[in-house]
Structure formats: structure tokens, C-alpha cells
Amino acid sequence: MVTAIHRPTWVSVDLDAAAHNLQEIREWTKAKKVYAVLKADGYGLGAIPLAKAFQETASADALIVSNLDEALELRQADLTLPIWVLGAWDYSDLKLFIGHDIVITIPSLAWLQNLPDFEGTLKVSLAIDTGMTRIGFDKADEISAAKKIIDKNPQLDLFSVYTHFATADEAGEKSKAYFEEQLRRWQELTINQGFDPSLFSMANSATCIWHHDDPRISFAAIRPGQLISGVNVSNGELKMPPNLHLERIFSVCSEIADVRFVKKDQSLSYGASERMPEDGYVATLPFGYNDGWLRRMQKSSVIINGKRMLIIGRITMDQTMVKLDRKYPIGTRVTLIGKDGGEQITVEEVANYSHTIVDEIQTTLAPRIKRIYTGDLAEVIGANYG
């Protein structure tokens, strides 16, 4: 998809704030290493600029992505940090993993036992399934067998032994009990296996925030992802600690493309589902559901001139209409996520209105929206050029 550089709609990303957040998370958790999760193009904010900012500031010790193509994109952008690919992979791309020094995830004992002959050194991470039930080892004897295979094969270099907590970002006794069950399973599956504890990676974003002081959890290598954006990854279900000083790193803005006077009871947009409640002005914005602003956002708010104003009529593929309090000039800035004056719309608010999570809102911001990078690091790494 082409990026619409001539369209007055943009996502602004503060790279200095992103690097600050990683450093703050490192200090908060007292982590030895920080593996920045940049899957889904850095949660929609641009994996390459974020990765370059983290490499420039040494705020990340490694990068994590969801697939090989994302990893190759980072390597082709001259990123030299270790890169780890999550998920299960077959053997067809082993040469690419080895040739580009990319860490592959071992999903099962069978995968390891049937590993074909190869040349070079393959870096691997061992997935421990403590209750996500996606991929990974869930039997102690199979973990022991896998470790023996890895230890005996000089071509295999163990990068990480990790697990993922399913309910670390949820409140309630049931969620807490399941977290405890996963933690018990981790201890049961890894105890007396002889792993180097410095390879353990247990803490995703939510675990970093709300379980940072649990002595049973290893913070040898943490995996913050969505948290890099400075948002509440529980959608507000859990309160952010007051002493964790994260910054909001992105905003979403557009401009008024058209303003017209509309009479009371005039139908608006597709389906004529809504009528103008009174005589007044309506603005059209160059922003719609093809940009990630879902149709269900009808009757939510945007900010214009420091005031909240209502989206009126159905959101269309490329345009959205807003009921104005008065006539504004074409080109007036509109904030969909972010601050304007004393008003703020957070991504958590948008997610709750849409009955989803912050990750989905952020990662569905379309590639056609141009990204503009701010902060000193944007200039240092040339984020806005080429």
C-alpha cells in the first residue's frame, strides 16, 4: 500500500520518548537485558526508526519480531542488534536465519529431533508453554531431552528460554490464580534442568509493570512491546504505578478538508442513519475505516481547537464527518489520539469505545498514513528522510 504523503493525516512518533520509556522500564524492573518487541511494524509506529533509535541509544539489547520477513527488513536497514523471531517455523528458511544471524524459536521436541543438517550456527530460543497453549514445551522430560540435544550440538546456540503469561494484564481473582498457576508450571518445568538463569525471559509488558517486584520471576531479559508506547496495556483495568514515569510517544492527527453549513434534519453519510440535530457546521476529515478508524467509532470524539467535538454519521472508507461548534478554516488541525490544549484522547479511551484492546487500535493504523518522527533521535538517525 502506498503511503499517502500528500494527505493531511499523520501519526507522529517521538523517538526520544520511546528510548526514554525503554530505559525507564529497565530501571523499573532492574532487568539485566531489554529485548524490545517490535512486531507488527513496531505496533504500527515503524519498526525501523524505533529499532535505530534503540540501537543508537543502547536502550535495547535485542529486538523481537513476529516473522522472518520483519527480521530481514531490520537487517536490510543495517540493524546489528540480535534479532529474535517468535512463533513456529519450518525448516525451509534455516539458511536465512543462519545467514542473517537471526534467532529462531524451537516450538517442540519433534521440531528439534527432526532438524535437518545445516551449515553454520543456528541461534535458538526454547519456548516453555506454561498455559498459553500456543507453542512450546509443556513436559519436563521433553525439555530435558531438548536441552541435551542443544548441549551436544555445537551448531546450536541457545539464546533464550522463555514463557508468556496469559493474564498478567488482567484484574480479578481468577486471573491472579491463573498467573500463579503459570508461574508454578514454569518452576516445575525448568527446575533442575541446568539452564543458565541469564537466558531466562519471563516478563512481557504487563509482567514488567505489575509483577516487577516478584522474586519468583526472572528479569534477566524482559520483553516490553506495547508498553514502549507508554500506554496502559490493561486498557485501564489495572492502574499504572505512579512511580513508573512513561511518556506517550505517539499521536494521530488530521486536518479539516471541507466545511459546510447543514440544516437541521439533513441526513448524514451512508444509510442516512443519523440526521443533523440542529442547524450548524459539519467538517469532513480525510480519515476513515481504511485508515483504521473503525465504523463503530461513530459518535465518539475528536479534538479541535482544544475542544471535543462529535463524529456524526457513519464513518466511511476514506472520510469522517464531525459536528462543529462553529465554522473553522479548512486546514484546521484535528486530534484523534493525543493532546490539544486541555483536552486529551488516549488510545485506551479509543480502545474501550471500540470494545477492543490498545494493541488492536494501534496496529490497525494503516500503512497509508504517513509517520512523522520527532525528537533529537529523529534527526540523528535520519528517520524522516528516505
261-264-266 Cα angle (round to 5): 80
- Per DSSP, helices labelled H in the chain are 15-29, 39-43, 47-57, 68-76, 94-99, 109-113, 140-152, 173-190, 205-210, 347-353, 358-363, 376-380
User: Which is nearest to 216 in space by CA: 171, 185, 194?
Assistant: 185
Set 39, 52, 123, 323: catalytic member:
39
- Catalytic status, residue 39: yes
Q: Give which of 326, 329, 296, 300 is closest to 312, Cα–Cα.
A: 300
270 is catalytic: yes
CB 213 within 8 A of CB 23: no
Q: For residue 27, report the phi and psi dihedrals to the nearest 5 degrees.
A: -70, -40
In the set 30, 270, 299, 327, the catalytic residue is: 270
Sequence-distant (≥ 6) Cβ neighbours of residue 274 within 8 angstroms: 267, 268, 298, 312, 313, 314
How far apart (Å, rounded) are the C-alpha atoms in residues 48 and 16?
14
Q: Which residues are marked as active site?
A: 39, 270
